[in-house]
Amino acid sequence: MTRVVHLHIGAPKTGTTYIQTRLGRNTKTLAEHGVHFPSISRFARPELSQFRAALDLTEQDWGGAPGHADGAWDALMRRTRRLDGNVIISHEILAPAQSKMIERAMRDLAGSEIHIVYSGRDLARSLSAAWQESVKQGRAWTFRKFLRRSRMGKPFMMQAFDIPDVLSSWGVAVPPERIHLVVVPSKANAASDDTLWTRMCRAFDIDPAWAPLDSDAANKSLGVAETQVLRQLNQALGRKVAREGDYDDLLRRMVADGSLFHHRSAPVTLRPDNYDWVEERTERSLEWIAASGIDVIGDLDELRPRRPDPAARWANPDRVKKQAITRAAVGALSSMTAEAARRPDPHGLAVRATREIKRRLEP
């Protein structure tokens, strides 16, 4: 039986957490239909295994203890080669992989029918979400600096958002009909139905009904005040602490389940003076897509950013009112205090974070 491998390479902030978790919750029913979402160990969730494998392939080491991803890619490849049918491998950090890493992946998957799946979203929403995500991961840069560097193409996520560059790199050994661009639904459609899931299922060549268990996992968005509190906390703790696996796990869980902040302030949106270059990049991508011959799933018009009403007041994430920051910080302080009391905390991260938030609230 021919092995078909669907390699979902991102991009970040396109619903990947939801897709991966839903696949992971339905491994048994998917396997009944010859579809596999493999783990490197029966004791590890597929999503975690594939994250570590992606780290290993791309020569990165974060999100856990030093060396936690060593050998994970080879282990995943051994598992994949033992499978027949449809194999799905998914992680968004694969998108901007270097050519030597892509060559290794193609070599390791030789003998399989390889399909590249890439989920794309309008760049204005992607950039706003990417800055928040970078702050969740320990960065302390301002939104202005992040956007300035993004325009230069430097941050990891901006490289991952470059559709022509990413798909040209990954498509070097794959014919265009086996490259699938899934358009993430516009904001108006995203909250109303299963459009993203059904589009992804089409790209993976699976029936949506084969994965009946839904997922509530998502990287929840933060408002301008909440993001500013985290940014200042990262700044105070320092990059080394903010990038530690325990701190990362603590923040990610508390942000994901909504327990860190009690309220939501104004959303983070693109600076109005950035729409010109974002639209220019988008049109370049659309021209490349039209000429590429790749498979497009969804409406390409949904990749075009929607400018806000000129009369609407923009909430600057770098200039948040002190009252809003204080309100968000008080909520985070109470949550961190409860967490510090509840959890075994051998490294004192929850306690340190709590102490720092408390210090920042002092007059």
Task: Give me the mean pLDDT over the 330-358 stretch.
Answer: 68
Distance of alpha carbon 20 from the chain centroid: 11
Q: Judge if 261 and 174 occupy the same domain.
A: no
Q: Judge if 200 and 83 occupy the same domain.
A: yes
**85 occurs within a structural domain:** yes
- Cα 260-139-120 angle, rounded to 5 deg: 85
Instruction: Give the percent of the chain with pLDDT over 70.
Output: 87
Number of domains in the chain: 2
Q: Judge if 183 and 114 occupy the same domain.
A: yes
pLDDT tier for residue 64 given thresholds of 50, 70 and 90: confident
Look at residue 345 in the predicted model and tell me its pLDDT. 59
**95 occurs within a structural domain:** yes
Show which of 169, 186, 210 is a domain's final residue. 210
Each residue's pLDDT tens digit, 185-201: 987 555 457 999 999 99
Q: Judge if 160 and 262 occupy the same domain.
A: no
Q: Judge if 115 and 180 occupy the same domain.
A: yes
Contacts for 88 with CB less than 8 Å, ≥ 6 apart: 5, 6, 8, 23, 35, 36, 37, 204
Tokens standing for residue 38: 């493999």
CATH code assigned at 106: 3.40.50
Q: Judge if 257 and 336 occupy the same domain.
A: yes
Q: Judge if 173 and 255 occupy the same domain.
A: no
Look at residue 190 in the predicted model and tell me its pLDDT. 54
Tokens standing for residue 285: 């991508």
List the domain range (segments joined by +) for residue 112: 3-124+156-210
